[in-house]
Chain A
Amino acid sequence: MEKTGNPIMKAHSGGTEPEMFRVLTPEGEIIETIDGKIDKSLMLKMYESMLLLRTFDRKSINLQRQGRIGTYAPFEGQEASQVGSALALSAGDWMFPTYRDHGAAIIHGQELYRVFLYWMAHFDGSICPEGKRIMPPSVPIATQMVHAVGTAWASKLKGEQNVSIAYFGDGATSEGDFHEALNFAGVYKTPTIFFCQNNGYAISVPFEKQSASKTISQRAAAYDIHGVRVDGNDIFAVWLTVKEAVERALKGEGPTLIEAITFRYGAHTTADNPNIYRDQDEISTFWRENRDPITRLRKYLNKEGHWNEEQEELVIKQFNELIDAHLQRAEGHPKSDPLEMFNHVYAKESWHLKEQKQELNQILRKGGKK
Chain B
Amino acid sequence: MGKNLTMLQAITEALDQMLGHDDRVMILGEDIGVNGGVFRSTEGLYEKYGKDRVVDTPLAESGIIGSAIGLALNGMLPIVEIQFLAFIYPGFEQLVSHAARMRYRTRGQFGVPLVIRTPYGAGIRGPELHSESVETFFAHTPGLKVVAPSNPYDAKGLLISALEDPDPVIFLEPTKLYRAFKEEVPDEMYRIPIGQAKVVQEGSDLTIFAWGAMLREALNAAKKIEAEKGWQCEVVDLRTLYPLDRDTIVQSIKKTGRALIVHEAHKTAGLGAEIISIINDEALIYLKAPIKRVTGFDVPVPPFTIEDHYLPTVDRVKQGIVETISF
Contact = CB atoms under 8 A, between A and B. Distances in A.
B72 interface: yes
Given A150-B66, A157-B52, A140 B93 contact: yes
Interface string B48-89: 000010000110101101111111111110000000000000
B108 A344 contact: yes
Contacts, number: 129
A76 B276 CA distance: 55
Contacts of A144: 98
A347 interface: yes
A176 B62 contact: yes
Contacts of B267: none
B303 interface: no
A145 B70 CA distance: 10
A344 B90 CA distance: 26
Given A143-B66, A143-B93, A151 B60 contact: no
A184 B57 contact: yes
Contact of A177 (B52, B66, B73, B165): B66
Given A147-B98, A344-B107, A176 B70 contact: no
Nearest to A348: B166
A350 B71 contact: no
A151 B246 contact: no
B123 interface: no
A146 interface: yes
Interface string B174-211: 00000000000000000000010000000000000000
With most chain A CB atoms within 10 A of its CB, the pick from B70, B106, B110, B167 is B70
B70 A149 contact: yes
Contact of B74 (A124, A151, A347, A348): A151
Given A123-B107, A146-B63, A350 B243 contact: yes
Contact of B103 (A148, A346, A351): A346
A352 interface: yes
B184 to A, nearest CB: 31
A276 to B, nearest CB: 28
A180 B62 contact: yes
Contacts of A346: 103, 143, 145, 167
Given A140-B97, A344-B103, A350-B243, A153 B109 contact: no
A136 interface: yes
Q: How large is the interface on B (under 10, 10 to 19, 20 to 34, 35 or more residues)?
A: 35 or more
Given A176-B90, A184-B57, A151 B107 contact: no
Contacts of B224: none
A146 B58 contact: no
B56 to A, nearest CB: 10
Contact of A181 (B52, B63, B109): B63
B194 to A, nearest CB: 10
B33 interface: no
Interface residues of A, number: 42
B104 interface: yes
Contacts of B94: 143, 146
Nearest to A158: B75
Interface string A333-370: 00000000001111110111000000000000000000
A144 B94 CA distance: 9
A135 interface: yes
A345 B98 CA distance: 12
A94 B73 CA distance: 10
Contacts of B143: 345-346
A157 B71 CA distance: 10
Interface of B: 26, 52, 57-58, 60, 62-63, 65-76, 90, 93-94, 97-98, 102-111, 142-143, 145, 165-167, 195, 243, 246
Given A128-B109, A150-B69, A346-B145, 17 more contacts: A94-B74, A127-B107, A135-B110, A146-B62, A146-B63, A147-B73, A149-B66, A150-B67, A150-B73, A151-B70, A153-B67, A154-B74, A157-B26, A164-B70, A180-B62, A184-B58, A344-B108
Per CB-CB distance, the 6 closest pairs between chain A and chain B, nearest first, are: A150-B70, A146-B66, A180-B63, A154-B74, A150-B67, A347-B166
16 contacts: A127-B106, A128-B109, A135-B110, A136-B106, A140-B98, A146-B94, A147-B98, A151-B74, A154-B71, A181-B63, A184-B58, A346-B143, A346-B145, A347-B111, A347-B165, A348-B166
